[in-house]
Amino acid sequence: MTFLFAYLAALLGFGQPAPAGEEPAFTVELEPLPGDTADLPPVTPARGENPPLVVIDPGHGGKDPGATSPFGGLLEKHVTLAIARQIRDELAASGRVRAALTRDDDRYLVLQERYEIARRLGADLFISIHADAAPHNDGARGATIYTLSEVASDRQAALLAQRENAADLIGGARLSPDPNVNMILIDLAQRESMNVSAEFARLLHREAAPIFPFRPEWHRFAALVVLKAPDIPSILFESGYLTNPVDVAYISSPDGQRQIATGMRQAIEAHFARRFLAQQAR
Ligand SMILES: [Zn+2]
């Protein structure tokens, strides 16, 4: 499957440029995005040749505040940025993986722009950071990892997809995918990315569950627009519940943010070490 994916990826023009004299059958051309000419965000350096790159996406921003906590009025867009910065800084200090943020200030980005930044940077992994809100104060607490599926795993996952996808409606941005792309190949590439995303979700839970709390149902599936880069394994991480006072105190505290970043860094490094070893074994 990995070989098949590499072949398809080459066909699709992902990753490596085509060898001289060999034109790829076609390439994926997504529509130019608003602000496409703007400089790409800075990438932190790492040791070694061709170190992998993770793009961290602080959810919401600017005119889209995300959820608001009933305890102290904390806005999701602020807590996601603080956690994302902490993860980037931990990765930079460790120096094994390069990292970039989709936004490093309080700005609004449509969902497709977020994964387009990751694609244009050639990212190997995409992580969107969020904070959850339960419909009623049902005592829900802990982190949840979402990966892409067309079918939501349950009603709560469907509600979450509705809420997170609504960010695009705020800006009135409805970006249509290019009609010229070969949907079957895109679909196959997407399936491989979905498998690797689920693999990373399990690894993140394994590495981080001893460090910070997860929900009992810690892995869910939802049709989330921000996870739809066909060629980049992607997860959406709900760090905790803004509707739970214990979670709010934890995810907004420097200690809590550090612990989340440590668990995340360990999982990211283990993920790329595992991918590297699998590549060597081939
Ligand atoms: Zn969110």
Count of alpha carbons within 13 Å of 192, Cβ hemisphere only? Answer: 17
For residue 4, report the distance from its CA to the centre of ligand 1, in Å. Answer: 34
Residue 34 lies in a domain: no
Residue 119 tokens, joined: 């694609």
Residue 25 lies in a domain: no
The predicted model scores a pTM of: 0.82
For residue 133, report the distance from its CA to the centre of ligand 1, in Å. Answer: 9
CATH code, 119: 3.40.630.40
Residue 17 lies in a domain: no
For residue 161, report the distance from its CA to the centre of ligand 1, in Å. Answer: 9
Number of structural domains the chain divides into: 1
CA pair distance 26, 194, nearest whole angstrom: 23
Residue 65 lies in a domain: yes
For residue 192, report the distance from its CA to the centre of ligand 1, in Å. Answer: 25
pLDDT reported for residue 220: 95
Range of the domain at 241: 2-12+44-281
pLDDT reported for residue 36: 52
Residue 28 lies in a domain: no
Residue 38 lies in a domain: no
Residue 104 lies in a domain: yes
Strands 143-148 and 234-241, by their bridges, are antiparallel
Residue 120: what are its φ and ψ, rounded to 5°?
-70, -30
Ligand 1 ion: residues within 5 Å (CB): 59, 66, 130
Q: Give 225's DSSP letter.
A: G
Residue 21 lies in a domain: no
pLDDT digits (tens, 9 = 90+) for 84-118: 999 999 999 999 999 999 999 999 999 989 999 99
pLDDT band at 190 (very low <50, low <70, confident <90, very high): confident
pLDDT reported for residue 68: 95
Cα torsion 58, 59, 62, 65 to 10°: value is -130
Q: What is the mean pLDDT of the chain?
A: 84
